[in-house]
Protein backbone atom coordinates (compact mmCIF):
# COMPACT_ATOMS: atom_id res chain seq x y z
CA UNK A 1 0.00 0.00 0.00
CA UNK A 2 1.77 0.04 -0.17
CA UNK A 3 -0.63 -1.42 0.39
CA UNK A 4 -3.43 -1.13 -2.69
CA UNK A 5 -6.44 -3.46 -2.97
CA UNK A 6 -7.03 -5.37 -6.26
CA UNK A 7 -10.36 -4.60 -7.97
CA UNK A 8 -12.43 -7.43 -9.38
CA UNK A 9 -13.11 -6.90 -13.06
CA UNK A 10 -16.65 -6.93 -14.41
CA UNK A 11 -17.90 -9.35 -17.08
CA UNK A 12 -18.33 -8.58 -20.78
CA UNK A 13 -21.52 -7.37 -22.39
CA UNK A 14 -22.40 -8.55 -25.92
CA UNK A 15 -22.23 -5.87 -28.60
CA UNK A 16 -24.10 -6.12 -31.91
CA UNK A 17 -21.96 -6.32 -35.01
CA UNK A 18 -22.20 -7.02 -38.74
CA UNK A 19 -25.34 -4.94 -39.39
CA UNK A 20 -26.04 -1.51 -40.82
CA UNK A 21 -28.42 -0.62 -38.01
CA UNK A 22 -27.17 1.38 -35.00
CA UNK A 23 -25.90 -0.72 -32.12
CA UNK A 24 -28.42 -0.91 -29.28
CA UNK A 25 -27.45 0.76 -26.02
CA UNK A 26 -26.30 -2.04 -23.67
CA UNK A 27 -28.05 -2.27 -20.33
CA UNK A 28 -27.58 -4.35 -17.22
CA UNK A 29 -30.42 -6.54 -18.44
CA UNK A 30 -28.37 -7.36 -21.54
CA UNK A 31 -25.58 -8.95 -19.54
CA UNK A 32 -24.89 -12.58 -20.35
CA UNK A 33 -25.71 -14.75 -17.32
CA UNK A 34 -22.57 -16.24 -15.81
CA UNK A 35 -22.77 -19.62 -14.12
CA UNK A 36 -20.70 -19.65 -10.93
CA UNK A 37 -19.09 -23.05 -10.44
CA UNK A 38 -16.83 -23.62 -7.40
CA UNK A 39 -13.26 -24.19 -8.50
CA UNK A 40 -13.79 -22.90 -12.04
CA UNK A 41 -11.60 -19.92 -13.05
CA UNK A 42 -13.34 -16.57 -13.49
CA UNK A 43 -14.44 -15.85 -17.07
CA UNK A 44 -12.18 -13.65 -19.17
CA UNK A 45 -13.11 -9.99 -19.09
CA UNK A 46 -12.25 -6.74 -20.83
CA UNK A 47 -12.37 -3.98 -18.19
CA UNK A 48 -12.50 -1.19 -20.77
CA UNK A 49 -15.54 -2.70 -22.53
CA UNK A 50 -17.17 -3.37 -19.18
CA UNK A 51 -16.59 0.22 -18.05
CA UNK A 52 -17.96 1.60 -21.31
CA UNK A 53 -21.02 -0.62 -20.98
CA UNK A 54 -21.69 0.65 -17.45
CA UNK A 55 -21.22 4.26 -18.59
CA UNK A 56 -23.64 3.69 -21.49
CA UNK A 57 -26.16 2.15 -19.13
CA UNK A 58 -25.96 5.12 -16.75
CA UNK A 59 -26.70 7.44 -19.67
CA UNK A 60 -29.72 5.38 -20.75
CA UNK A 61 -33.35 5.53 -19.54
CA UNK A 62 -32.86 2.14 -17.89
CA UNK A 63 -30.77 3.87 -15.21
CA UNK A 64 -33.99 5.16 -13.68
CA UNK A 65 -34.05 1.88 -11.74
CA UNK A 66 -32.19 2.95 -8.59
CA UNK A 67 -30.88 -0.49 -7.65
CA UNK A 68 -29.40 -1.09 -11.09
CA UNK A 69 -28.10 2.47 -11.30
CA UNK A 70 -26.25 2.25 -8.00
CA UNK A 71 -24.80 -1.14 -8.90
CA UNK A 72 -23.54 0.23 -12.21
CA UNK A 73 -22.07 3.30 -10.48
CA UNK A 74 -20.21 1.15 -7.98
CA UNK A 75 -18.69 -1.08 -10.63
CA UNK A 76 -17.87 1.78 -12.99
CA UNK A 77 -16.15 3.73 -10.19
CA UNK A 78 -13.85 0.80 -9.40
CA UNK A 79 -13.10 0.14 -13.06
CA UNK A 80 -12.31 3.79 -13.81
CA UNK A 81 -10.01 4.01 -10.79
CA UNK A 82 -8.26 0.80 -11.77
CA UNK A 83 -7.74 2.16 -15.29
CA UNK A 84 -6.50 5.49 -13.89
CA UNK A 85 -3.94 3.70 -11.73
CA UNK A 86 -2.65 1.81 -14.77
CA UNK A 87 -2.48 5.05 -16.78
CA UNK A 88 -0.54 6.84 -14.04
CA UNK A 89 1.92 3.94 -13.84
CA UNK A 90 2.47 4.19 -17.59
CA UNK A 91 2.78 7.98 -17.60
CA UNK A 92 -0.50 8.55 -19.46
CA UNK A 93 -3.08 11.24 -18.55
CA UNK A 94 -5.63 10.05 -16.02
CA UNK A 95 -7.36 13.29 -14.93
CA UNK A 96 -10.69 12.50 -16.58
CA UNK A 97 -10.85 8.97 -15.16
CA UNK A 98 -9.91 10.18 -11.69
CA UNK A 99 -12.51 12.95 -11.79
CA UNK A 100 -15.18 10.47 -12.88
CA UNK A 101 -14.29 7.97 -10.16
CA UNK A 102 -14.27 10.70 -7.49
CA UNK A 103 -17.72 11.86 -8.60
CA UNK A 104 -19.09 8.32 -8.58
CA UNK A 105 -17.74 7.48 -5.12
CA UNK A 106 -19.08 10.74 -3.71
CA UNK A 107 -22.51 9.98 -5.19
CA UNK A 108 -22.45 6.48 -3.69
CA UNK A 109 -21.49 7.82 -0.27
CA UNK A 110 -24.25 10.42 -0.35
CA UNK A 111 -26.99 8.12 -1.67
CA UNK A 112 -29.75 7.73 0.97
CA UNK A 113 -30.32 4.10 -0.08
CA UNK A 114 -26.70 3.25 0.75
CA UNK A 115 -26.42 4.84 4.18
CA UNK A 116 -25.88 1.45 5.82
CA UNK A 117 -24.20 -0.31 2.89
CA UNK A 118 -21.40 -2.68 3.98
CA UNK A 119 -19.10 -1.32 1.25
CA UNK A 120 -18.91 2.26 2.51
CA UNK A 121 -15.44 1.79 4.00
CA UNK A 122 -14.29 0.49 0.61
CA UNK A 123 -15.72 3.54 -1.17
CA UNK A 124 -14.00 5.90 1.26
CA UNK A 125 -10.74 4.04 0.75
CA UNK A 126 -11.13 4.21 -3.03
CA UNK A 127 -12.07 7.89 -2.85
CA UNK A 128 -8.88 8.56 -0.90
CA UNK A 129 -6.87 6.66 -3.51
CA UNK A 130 -8.37 8.71 -6.32
CA UNK A 131 -7.63 12.00 -4.55
CA UNK A 132 -4.08 10.85 -3.76
CA UNK A 133 -3.41 9.93 -7.39
CA UNK A 134 -4.64 13.37 -8.38
CA UNK A 135 -2.25 14.93 -5.81
CA UNK A 136 -5.10 16.24 -3.65
CA UNK A 137 -3.50 15.28 -0.36
CA UNK A 138 -5.89 17.14 1.94
CA UNK A 139 -8.93 15.60 0.27
CA UNK A 140 -7.29 12.16 0.44
CA UNK A 141 -6.59 12.57 4.15
CA UNK A 142 -10.16 13.74 4.76
CA UNK A 143 -11.53 10.57 3.13
CA UNK A 144 -9.17 8.39 5.16
CA UNK A 145 -10.13 10.22 8.35
CA UNK A 146 -13.80 9.56 7.59
CA UNK A 147 -12.98 5.88 7.10
CA UNK A 148 -11.19 5.42 10.44
CA UNK A 149 -13.74 7.53 12.33
CA UNK A 150 -16.83 5.82 10.91
CA UNK A 151 -15.41 2.30 10.55
CA UNK A 152 -12.61 1.83 13.12
CA UNK A 153 -12.89 -1.95 12.83
CA UNK A 154 -12.56 -2.02 9.05
CA UNK A 155 -9.78 -4.24 7.67
CA UNK A 156 -8.67 -1.12 5.77
CA UNK A 157 -8.32 0.97 8.95
CA UNK A 158 -4.64 0.10 9.66
CA UNK A 159 -3.57 1.20 6.20
CA UNK A 160 -5.82 4.26 6.37
CA UNK A 161 -4.22 5.32 9.66
CA UNK A 162 -0.75 4.72 8.23
CA UNK A 163 -1.49 6.83 5.14
CA UNK A 164 -2.80 9.59 7.40
CA UNK A 165 0.44 9.40 9.37
CA UNK A 166 2.52 9.60 6.19
CA UNK A 167 0.59 12.65 5.03
CA UNK A 168 1.06 14.41 8.37
CA UNK A 169 4.73 13.42 8.55
CA UNK A 170 5.32 14.84 5.05
CA UNK A 171 3.82 18.14 6.17
CA UNK A 172 6.07 18.17 9.29
CA UNK A 173 3.12 17.86 11.66
CA UNK A 174 5.06 15.53 13.93
CA UNK A 175 2.59 15.37 16.81
CA UNK A 176 -0.34 14.55 14.52
CA UNK A 177 1.80 11.97 12.70
CA UNK A 178 2.67 10.41 16.06
CA UNK A 179 -1.03 10.02 16.84
CA UNK A 180 -1.71 8.35 13.50
CA UNK A 181 1.24 5.95 13.76
CA UNK A 182 0.17 4.92 17.27
CA UNK A 183 -3.31 4.23 15.92
CA UNK A 184 -1.81 2.20 13.05
CA UNK A 185 0.25 0.13 15.45
CA UNK A 186 -2.73 -0.52 17.70
CA UNK A 187 -5.06 -1.38 14.81
CA UNK A 188 -2.53 -3.51 12.94
CA UNK A 189 -1.51 -5.72 15.89
CA UNK A 190 1.32 -7.50 14.12
CA UNK A 191 -0.21 -7.03 10.69
CA UNK A 192 1.19 -5.65 7.47
CA UNK A 193 1.73 -2.09 8.72
CA UNK A 194 2.83 -2.83 12.30
CA UNK A 195 6.59 -2.67 11.72
CA UNK A 196 6.51 0.47 9.60
CA UNK A 197 4.20 2.09 12.14
CA UNK A 198 6.69 1.38 14.95
CA UNK A 199 9.57 2.70 12.88
CA UNK A 200 7.80 5.89 11.81
CA UNK A 201 6.45 6.42 15.33
CA UNK A 202 10.06 6.45 16.48
CA UNK A 203 10.91 9.10 13.89
CA UNK A 204 7.85 11.21 14.75
CA UNK A 205 8.99 11.28 18.38
CA UNK A 206 12.61 11.88 17.32
CA UNK A 207 11.52 14.91 15.29
CA UNK A 208 9.95 16.32 18.46
CA UNK A 209 13.26 15.77 20.31
CA UNK A 210 11.51 13.28 22.58
CA UNK A 211 14.43 10.92 22.38
CA UNK A 212 13.84 8.71 25.39
CA UNK A 213 10.25 8.17 24.26
CA UNK A 214 11.47 7.23 20.79
CA UNK A 215 13.83 4.49 22.01
CA UNK A 216 11.15 1.82 22.68
CA UNK A 217 9.68 2.22 19.18
CA UNK A 218 13.07 1.91 17.48
CA UNK A 219 14.11 -0.90 19.81
CA UNK A 220 10.96 -2.86 18.96
CA UNK A 221 11.96 -2.77 15.29
CA UNK A 222 15.52 -3.89 16.06
CA UNK A 223 14.30 -6.59 18.48
CA UNK A 224 11.89 -8.09 15.96
CA UNK A 225 14.33 -8.05 13.06
CA UNK A 226 17.32 -9.45 14.95
CA UNK A 227 15.15 -12.12 16.58
CA UNK A 228 14.69 -13.58 13.08
CA UNK A 229 18.31 -13.47 11.92
CA UNK A 230 21.61 -11.69 12.69
CA UNK A 231 22.27 -8.26 11.19
CA UNK A 232 24.77 -9.66 8.67
CA UNK A 233 22.13 -12.06 7.32
CA UNK A 234 19.37 -9.48 6.90
CA UNK A 235 18.31 -8.52 3.39
CA UNK A 236 19.03 -4.99 2.21
CA UNK A 237 15.69 -3.61 3.41
CA UNK A 238 15.94 -5.26 6.82
CA UNK A 239 19.52 -4.15 7.35
CA UNK A 240 18.65 -0.56 6.43
CA UNK A 241 15.69 -0.58 8.81
CA UNK A 242 17.84 -1.83 11.70
CA UNK A 243 20.74 0.52 10.97
CA UNK A 244 18.48 3.57 10.64
CA UNK A 245 16.82 2.71 13.94
CA UNK A 246 20.18 2.29 15.68
CA UNK A 247 21.50 5.54 14.21
CA UNK A 248 18.42 7.46 15.39
CA UNK A 249 18.91 5.98 18.86
CA UNK A 250 22.62 6.93 18.80
CA UNK A 251 21.73 10.54 17.98
CA UNK A 252 19.24 10.49 20.83
CA UNK A 253 21.79 9.05 23.27
CA UNK A 254 24.31 11.72 22.23
CA UNK A 255 21.71 14.44 22.72
CA UNK A 256 21.13 13.22 26.27
CA UNK A 257 24.02 12.04 28.46
CA UNK A 258 25.97 10.04 25.90
CA UNK A 259 27.32 6.70 27.21
CA UNK A 260 25.52 7.18 30.52
CA UNK A 261 22.21 7.36 28.65
CA UNK A 262 22.97 4.10 26.84
CA UNK A 263 23.84 2.30 30.07
CA UNK A 264 20.79 3.62 31.89
CA UNK A 265 18.43 2.74 29.07
CA UNK A 266 19.84 -0.72 28.40
CA UNK A 267 19.51 -1.60 32.08
CA UNK A 268 15.77 -1.00 31.79
CA UNK A 269 15.29 -3.10 28.64
CA UNK A 270 16.28 -6.76 29.17
CA UNK A 271 15.25 -7.70 25.63
CA UNK A 272 18.05 -5.51 24.25
CA UNK A 273 20.78 -7.61 25.86
CA UNK A 274 21.40 -9.55 22.67
CA UNK A 275 22.18 -6.46 20.61
CA UNK A 276 23.33 -3.97 23.27
CA UNK A 277 26.81 -3.92 21.75
CA UNK A 278 25.30 -2.47 18.55
CA UNK A 279 23.87 0.49 20.49
CA UNK A 280 27.31 1.24 21.92
CA UNK A 281 29.02 0.72 18.56
CA UNK A 282 26.69 3.07 16.67
CA UNK A 283 27.14 5.74 19.34
CA UNK A 284 30.89 5.31 18.95
CA UNK A 285 30.54 5.64 15.16
CA UNK A 286 28.56 8.86 15.59
CA UNK A 287 31.21 10.37 17.87
CA UNK A 288 33.98 9.26 15.51
CA UNK A 289 32.23 10.85 12.51
CA UNK A 290 32.05 14.10 14.50
CA UNK A 291 35.73 13.78 15.52
CA UNK A 292 34.87 13.45 19.20
CA UNK A 293 37.67 10.96 19.71
CA UNK A 294 37.57 10.68 23.49
CA UNK A 295 33.81 10.10 23.54
CA UNK A 296 34.15 7.60 20.67
CA UNK A 297 36.82 5.69 22.58
CA UNK A 298 34.62 5.57 25.67
CA UNK A 299 31.64 4.24 23.73
CA UNK A 300 33.73 1.60 21.95
CA UNK A 301 35.31 0.55 25.22
Could you say which residues of the chain have pLDDT below 70?
1-45
Nearest to 55 by CA among 81, 27, 36: 27
Question: In a 3-state reduction of DSSP, which class is residue 76?
Answer: helix
DSSP state of 191: S
- Distance CA(103)–CA(96), nearest Å, equals 11
Task: Determine the pLDDT at residue 17.
Answer: 30
Does residue 39 come out as left (phi exceeding 0), alpha (psi in the -120 to 50 range) or beta?
left
Whether residue 103 contacts residue 118, with contact meaning beta carbons closer than 8 Å, is answered with no
pLDDT of residue 248: 95
Reported pTM: 0.79
Distance CA 9, CA 297 (A): 63
d(CA 122, CA 118) in angstroms, rounded, equals 8
Amino acid sequence: MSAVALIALAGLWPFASGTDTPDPVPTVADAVPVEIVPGRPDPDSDPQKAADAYAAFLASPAAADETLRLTAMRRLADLRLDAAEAAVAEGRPADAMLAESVSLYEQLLSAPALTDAPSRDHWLYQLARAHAMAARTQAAEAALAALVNEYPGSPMAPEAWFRIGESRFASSDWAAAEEAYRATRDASAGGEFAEQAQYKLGWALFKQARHEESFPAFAAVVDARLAEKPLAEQDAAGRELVEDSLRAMAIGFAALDGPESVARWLDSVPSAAGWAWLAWARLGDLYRDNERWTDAAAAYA
